[in-house]
Structure 1
């Protein structure tokens, strides 16, 4: 079960980056993968994260309420 996440990442990388571009050499491949990973983490919404990017989830840049989001804090919680 723990491999499913990394296998999904590799599948996305292959179908969204590698198979779509004709890279000429290792430097181009590295640059292309670097751009794709940046896109994947910063811009591409993920269904698992309720349509948010991994960056938004990791850094906690989410609204305070809604399905799949952090809970709304009560006034007493905010004061603490």
Structure 2
């Protein structure tokens, strides 16, 4: 029985990139690098699945998820504030008459 090989991340990336390019078949890549074709497919899939992380900004937290209940609560608060603003604007026009300025 042979001992397992531990491949470096750079080697895996190079093999996965060659597999993504599809210039050679998996059998040819397997022969070239001495790695089983199933392993190459796994590395290729992992590279494609994690490719978006290379383009994400570091140091920033992703946008927090907002629940529908919270959105509904904020919409009702906005509605309440609009009604209050309109009421106060009308009241100030009535009190000040023509001196009142429109928003």
- RCO higher in 1 or 2 (8 Å CA, sep ≥ 6)? 2
TM superposition score normalised by structure 2:
0.26
TM superposition score normalised by structure 1:
0.31
Which has more helix, going by share of residues?
A: 2
